[in-house]
Amino acid sequence: LHQQAEQTCRQLVRTQKEHEHLLQAAVEQAEGLEHSLRSAEAVLAERAAQLRDAQAQLSRNKLLIEDLRGENRRFAMALQAAELKQKSTEEKNQLLEEQASALKQLIGKITPASLSG
C-alpha cells in the first residue's frame, strides 16, 4: 500500500509538472499573442492615420478641382466673348474694306471726269 501510495504520489508529481509546463507554454503563447495583438493594433492605428490623411488630401483635391472648374468656365465664357468680338471686328473690317473699295472706285470715276472738265 505504501509503495502504491508512493507511485501514485510520483505520478501526481509528474502530472503536476506536466500541467505546470503546459500552463507555462500557454502563458508564453498568450504573451506572444498579446504582443502580436499590440503590433497589429499599432499597424492598424498607423494605417487609419494614413487613411485620414489621404481622405483630407482627397477633400482638398476635390475643392481644388471645383475651383479649377469654375475658373475654366470663366475662361470659356471669356474666350467665347473674345471670339464674338473678333467676329464682329472682322465683319466691321470687311464692311470698311468694301466702303474703301467703293470710295476708290468713286474717286477713280471722279478724277478723270474732273481732269477732262
Kindly report the pTM of this predicted structure: 0.54
pLDDT at 108: 87
Closest CA to 6 of 14, 45, 67: 14
pLDDT at 117: 58
pLDDT at 97: 97
At 18-43, the pLDDT tens digits run: 999 999 999 999 999 999 999 999 99
Cα separation, 105 vs 12, whole angstroms: 134
Question: Residue 70: which pLDDT band, with cuts at 50, 70 and 90?
Answer: very high
pLDDT at 111: 79
pLDDT at 22: 97
At 9-18, the pLDDT tens digits run: 999 999 999 9
Q: What is the mean pLDDT of residues 60-78?
A: 98
The residue ranges of every structural domain in the chain are 1-84
Say yes or no to pLDDT of 114 above 80: no
